[in-house]
Every structure is written in structure tokens, then in C-alpha cells.
Structure 1
Amino acid sequence: MIFGVLNQKGGVGKTTLSVNLAASLTRAGARVLLIDADPQGSALDWAAAREGDPLFSVAGFPRPSIHKEIGQIGHGYDHIVIDGPPRVTDLARSAIMAADIVVIPVQPSPYDIWAAEEVVKLIEEARIYKENIKSVFVINRKITNTAIGRDVREALAAYPVPVLQAVITQRVIFAEAAAHGQAVFELDANGPATAEVEAVATELMGYAQ
């Protein structure tokens, strides 16, 4: 399965979600490749910060030919997670074309909800060439007990894209893990952040069937 994690707005936690999704799939016993398709190279920075053996393979490929070369790049892997670029570019279009399911992280903010329109349009364009592409919103960095945190699901209903029931809450542990090139389960295997990531991964796998 190929997951493309994309949003045309920066700062939505795209790399954090990509890394922890890849880690969760690896933890479940799969062989996983994380492709860093963002020219900023945040996933590569994460991998470089890690001490010890890597959890999974990380490869930088910020080129608009991902969809043409994904078969060769990802040969032998059970799952591929693409950490996509910000902004509407040929690179973003290529990452969408390469994906089986496009995962759109959205923070509970009006700006994020408005910005989601761009990536939804890109997915609709891609369906002309690859009609079986699936897409889904993931509410990321949700702040508990806030009105906007509760209302974001209703606001996203305006788009023709489903919203996962599982959400990722804003927690310090995500930043702490990232600083050391780790996944949250390595810091707290039974904690709430790990449980949220596992729930997102499980729901995504079910949705992708």
C-alpha cells in the first residue's frame, strides 16, 4: 500500500504523521519505506538525528517523477509512505499519482480547512488519470476541549473526502521524539500518543482495503 501524506499548507504536522505512520506499520511487522518528497528534507533530518539502527528505510526523492519510478524505488516493501511537498507543484501532483490513498492532515484551524481545498482539487485532477485513488482527512494536532477542535469535523464535511474517526492530539511527546529521530512508541509504548497513532494506522489500513 502506498500512502501519500500531503497538504498544501505548511505546519500541519505532515512529517510527524508520516514518520509515526511508517513506524506504526513497521511495528506491526511490515517492511516499510518512507520517501521524503519534500525539498526541505524534514524526514531525512529526522532519520539523521537518530542514534542506533533505523526503524525503517528513509529515502529522499524530491522529484516530479515519483509516480513513474515508485515501482522500482519501492520494490520489496510492503508499504510506502510518501512525505509530500507543500504547495501545488508538479512534485505534489506526482506524489498524488503515486499513491493508493492520499492522507491529508488538517489542524483544527480555519486556515487549514480553507487550504485543504487545494489538495482536494489536485486529487480530483489526478482521478482523470488514476480513477481508483482514495483520499481521507486526518485531524492532526487537535487541542482537546476547544470549540474549534470539536467543529473541525463538521467544517470538513463540505469536502467530498471522508474524515477518519481517529485523531492525533497535540502533545509534547511528538516533538521530543522527533528531536531524537524516534517514533512516539519508542518513548512511551503504551501512552496516549502511541494509541492515537496506532488507531490512525489501523483505520487507514481498513479504509485502504
Structure 2
Amino acid sequence: MIVALLNQKGGVGKTTLALHLAGRWAGKGRRVTLVDADPQGSALDWSEARAASNGARRFGVIGLARETLHRELPALAADVDHLIIDGAPRTTGLARSALLAADVVLVPATPSPLDGWASAEMLQLIEEARVFRPDLVARLVLNRCASGTVIARETAAALEAHDPPLLNSRIGQRVIFAQAASTGSLVDELDPGCLAAAEIAALASEVEALQP
């Protein structure tokens, strides 16, 4: 199963979700590789921080920020249960290649009036990809939701009948995600019983059920 996290808008939490989905599935005994397709290399930075702190390796992270993902990733996917692509913002060629490679694409969005619900360009790229990949599964996921806020409720309500549909899972805006990122950790390692870990577990289960 190849899962791509993509949005042409930056700052929506693609890397955080990609790392934590990988960690959740690896923690369940799955073979997982995360492909850092962002030239900024944030997932690779996290992996280096983890190695520096002698953290146990849960899953592999490789850098592959080029527009040939759709040709290169099928061979990598054959050796794992889950291949996760952490996409780059504002890089149309990379996004197109990732969409052609993926089975499932997740479009993270924050409930902000400035962000809207997703970049219009990203949704257009999904429609283009479906010409070649009519079986491509696409979903929006609300990330960095401040609990109980009006804007979060209004955003979710506005997206109920949208295409791509909105996942039921929501990821809160929690300090523990930043703490995990700075230390090469995952939230379930810092606090297995925290709300963030429960939210990631729910998201991973919902995404896994989307497998074509």
C-alpha cells in the first residue's frame, strides 16, 4: 500500500502525519518505509535526530525528491507492507509523480480561514491523476485542530459532502508533536496514553481501511 501525503500549501503538517503513520504501522509489526520527497528533508532530519539520540529504528526513511517517483517506487513497495510518501509543497512535478505512484493520497488541511480546506491546485492535480489512475483513493484530513473551536466545527461541516471526502479522524494541535519532532521521537514513545497517540491510531486504522 502506497500512501502519499500531499498539499501544495506548506505548513499543514504533512511530515508529522507521515512520520506518525509510519510509526504506528511499524509498531504493529508492519514493514514500513517512508520516502522523503520534500527537498527540505524534514523527515530525514527527524531520522538523523533519532539516530543521534540512539532511538530504536522502527522504519526506514529515504530521500527521493525527484519527479520519477511513479517509476521508482513500485520496486520499493514490493518489499514492504506500507510505503509512505512525504510530499513537498509548491512542487507540481513531484506531486504529479507521487499521485501516479500512490494507492491512497491524503491531503492534510488546517481549519483556518486563511488556508481554506485545501489548495485548489492540489485538488486539480488529483483530478488530473485520476485520468490515468481512476482507482486512486483521495481523502482530506483535518490536522492541527484546536479542540472545540468554532472554525474547526465549521470547516468539518463545510466538507461533509466534499470530494475528496473528509476522514472522520481529526488530529489536534498538541505540543507533544513538536516535542517529538525535535528529539526524533514519536508521540506514543513520549506518552503512550496521550490523546495525540490515540488520534494517530484512529487515523492509521481509518487510512488502512481505504486500501483498494
Aligned residues of 1:88 and 1:118 also touching (Cα < 8 A): no
Cα offset for 1:149? 1.1
Q: Could you tell me the TM-score, scaled by structure 1's length?
A: 0.96
Aligned residues of 1:38 and 1:62 also touching (Cα < 8 A): yes
SS for the counterpart of 1:141 is strand
Cα offset for 1:207? 2.1
Aligned residues of 2:109 and 2:117 also touching (Cα < 8 A): no
From 141, 164, 175, the counterpart of 2:167: 164
Structure 2 residues not aligned, in runs of 5+: none
Does residue 193 of the first structure (1) align with residue 193 of the second (2)? no
Paired positions, count: 209
Partners of 1:113 and 1:205 in 2: CA distance: 26
Q: Could you tell me the TM-score, scaled by structure 2's length?
A: 0.94
Partners of 2:118 and 2:103 in 1: CA distance: 22
Does residue 25 of the first structure (1) align with residue 25 of the second (2)? yes
| Structure 2 partner of 1:145 | 148
> What is the CA deviation profile of residues 121-179 of structure 1, one whole-angstrom value per residue up to 9, with x for unaligned ones?
10110011111100001110000121101111122346411111110000000000111
Structure 1 residues not aligned, in runs of 5+: none
Aligned residues of 1:104 and 1:137 also touching (Cα < 8 A): yes
Aligned residues of 2:117 and 2:155 also touching (Cα < 8 A): no
Cα offset for 1:114? 5.3
Aligned-pair identity (%): 48
Aligned residues of 1:113 and 1:155 also touching (Cα < 8 A): no
| Structure 1 partner of 2:70 | 67
Partners of 1:197 and 1:36 in 2: CA distance: 19
Compute the RMSD of aligned alpha carbons.
1.3
Aligned residues of 2:107 and 2:118 also touching (Cα < 8 A): no
> What is the CA deviation profile of residues 4-43 of structure 1, one whole-angstrom value per residue up to 9, with x for unaligned ones?
0001111111100000011011111100000000011000
